[in-house]
Amino acid sequence: ESDEAVEYIRNIFVEKQQPGDFVNFMRQNGKAVSFSEEDSLTYKSAMLRYEAKDFASAEGGFTDYLKRFPEGKYQIEAAYFAAEIAVFNKQPNNAYPFYQQVAAKAPNRYAERSALQAARIAYFDLKDFAAAEKYFAQLKAIATQQENKLEAMRGLLRCQYKAQQWNNASTNAAELLMEKGAATDDRMMANMVLAKNYQLNSQPNEAANAYKAVVALGRSEYAAEASYRLAELLYQKGSYAEAEKAAFDVIKKNGSYAFWVTRSYILLGDVYFKQKDLFNAEATFKSVAENASIDELRQEATQKLGMVVEEKNRVNKVTQ
């Protein structure tokens, strides 16, 4: 009867979410409550509120549990459900540290979703792309669901693209191109990563093939840049006539992308300068310097215009 009475009293306190009061009540009556039991009761009282969809009370309960039992038996569960409540309440910043806590304890049954949610919050809400990269990489490694693995690969690619980590991104990019579920923009970005990595590693033929793959996928800013890079590769190879034609092609077909159109005009100026066509080089750089809406390109054109004028003056002195 004594055990039944204790169980009855325990249930009353737990259902009222007062596990601490139960522990105090028992101690006042000469009954010891073990640390392990206190741990379990504190978690159970919060979980009952969660299952009843009393999220406000459950949130307080899980937070209290984590403060009192930071290394408790249910620390992963408490952190995970606290995070889920915060997401339900549209408070991703509050959810983030709880998801981080669960992901850090992988492997566990909630690690995959926690890594996914931590990556999403870091990327979309916090704009912390280094942290997002970390969690997308973790998710890719532990994902058991194909859609999560694909999202991890896509997210990882975008983080590394933003950071211009072409070498680090190339393996994941190549793997993403093998995925049947990869979307067109995934394929464009993945090919851009491979192309840039090839170009940096002085592999112009491989770079050109990857840039061509981007262009073949349809019009986009990626395709506009890829078209420019193809012209740039021709220029770097010394194929100036082909580079000129390719640059005009960028200008003709990518009018919506001012940056790459303007950069193509600058490349034309570079071609003319290399060909000793100082008249057209000067006219091209001057046009960009006077009309470009993008400050960094206007400055570059102004600097190159100065070089052309200096060379023109030098040539004129020699011929006089």
| pLDDT at position 318 | 81
- 78 in any annotated domain: no
Give residue 253's identity as a one-letter amino acid code: K
| pLDDT at position 25 | 63
Terminal CA-to-CA distance of the chain, rounded, Å?
A: 119
- 245 in any annotated domain: yes
Q: And the tokens for 85?
A: 């409540």
- 143 in any annotated domain: no
| pLDDT at position 129 | 98
**Dist. CA 100–CA 111, nearest whole Å:** 9
**Dist. CA 140–CA 154, nearest whole Å:** 10
Q: And the tokens for 247?
A: 């640059």
Which of 237-242's residues contact partners 24+ apart within 8 Å by CB, and which partners? 237/204, 240/271, 240/274, 240/275
- 212 in any annotated domain: no
CA 44 to chain centre: 37
| pLDDT at position 110 | 98
- 163 in any annotated domain: no
Give residue 134's identity as a one-letter amino acid code: K
- 266 in any annotated domain: yes
| pLDDT at position 32 | 67
| pLDDT at position 1 | 41
Contact predicate 41/19, CB 8 Å: yes
Per-residue pLDDT of the chain (320 residues; tens, 9 = 90+): 456 655 656 566 656 666 666 566 656 665 666 668 889 888 988 998 999 999 999 999 999 999 999 999 999 999 999 999 999 999 999 999 999 999 999 999 999 999 999 999 999 999 999 999 999 999 999 999 999 999 999 999 999 999 999 999 999 999 999 999 999 999 999 999 999 999 999 999 999 999 999 999 999 999 999 999 999 999 999 999 999 999 999 999 999 999 999 999 999 999 999 999 999 999 999 999 999 999 999 999 999 999 999 999 999 888 76
Q: Using H for helix, E for strand and C for coil, what is the string for the chain?
A: CHHHHHHHHHHHHHHCCCHHHHHHHHHHCCCCCCHHHHHHHHHHHHHHHHHCCCHHHHHHHHHHHHHHCCCCCCHHHHHHHHHHHHHHCCCHHHHHHHHHHHHHCCCCCCHHHHHHHHHHHHHHHCCCHHHHHHHHHHHHHHCCCHHHHHHHHHHHHHHHHHCCCHHHHHHHHHHHHCCCCCCHHHHHHHHHHHHHHHHHCCCHHHHHHHHHHHHHCCCCHHHHHHHHHHHHHHHHHCCHHHHHHHHHHHHHHCCCCHHHHHHHHHHHHHHHHHCCCHHHHHHHHHHHHHHCCCHHHHHHHHHHHHHHHHHHHHHHHHHC
- 77 in any annotated domain: no
**How many domains does the structure of the chain reveal?**
1
- 283 in any annotated domain: yes
Domain membership of residue 253 as a residue range: 219-320
Angle between helices 75-88 and 55-68 (to 10 degrees): 140
pTM: 0.87
**Dist. CA 81–CA 75, nearest whole Å:** 10
**Dist. CA 310–CA 291, nearest whole Å:** 21
CATH number reported for the structural domain that contains residue 264 in this entry: 1.25.40.10
**Dist. CA 305–CA 235, nearest whole Å:** 19
